[in-house]
Amino acid sequence: MSAGAPAPGPAAGGGPAASWPRMAVATLALAGLLISAYLLLHRLGLVGRLICGAEGSCETVQSSSYAEFLGVPVAGIGLVGYLVMMAVALAGLQPQLAGVRRVSLVLLALSLPAVAFTIYLNALEAFVIHAWCRWCIASATIVTLIFLASLADLVLGHRPAADRRLT
């Protein structure tokens, strides 16, 4: 493992320069978590009409049969997914895990299927439901950014270790 012996202190792959992708993942996942929670509460009938602009396409999407996947509300799946990604990203910011490659791989392994699932959901909106939900688009954007940040974490997070090998 390239980061197997990180130097103690903030420069060991856990400094601000190296850890920004994980900060980004945690922040984005929190935003996604809140959106998923909102949509799930709506699904459970616990909040009012979705705040969705004048055209109200969110109701069309959220009331469709595709708002559930294998009997589980899609918003609930999103909520759990974002929660796990945020937990991993926050754990990866701790000094003992900073710069550890395995954390980067876990983030990538979590975000990649999330992106695939998002593409599937967006395709349903475009070709089957014929309606776009702003909250779903926001969630799709967040998932994509999390994936890119996870990729950046894998690439950038270990540069200090490589640099150390060169010197």
Q: Measured from the CB of residue 57, what is the shortest distance to other proteins in angstroms? A: 7
Cα dihedral sign for 89, 150, 165, 163? negative
Supply the minimum distance, in Å, between the C-beta of residue 19 and other proteins.
7
Paired residues of 72 in beta bridges: 69
Nearer residue to other proteins within complex by CB, 94 or 113: 94
d(CA 53, CA 87): 32
Interface residues with other proteins (CB under 8 A)? 9-11, 14-16, 19, 23, 26-27, 30-31, 34, 37-38, 41-42, 45-50, 55-57, 59-60, 63-65, 93, 128-131
How does DSSP classify residue 10?
A: T
How far apart, in whole angstroms, are the C-alpha atoms of residue 109 and residue 47? 33
- How are beta strands 72-73 and 68-69 bridged, if at all? antiparallel
**Alpha-carbon distance 67 to 65, whole Å?**
5
Nearest-approach distance from CB 85 to other proteins, in angstroms = 14
Minimum CB separation from other proteins for residue 15, in Å?
4
In the complex, least distance from residue 47 CB atom to other proteins, rounded to whole angstroms: 4
Tokens describing residue 44: 């459970």
- The residue written with tokens 């809140």 in the block is 34
Contact indicator for 115, 143 with CB cutoff of 8 Å: yes
| Amino acid letter, residue 28 | L
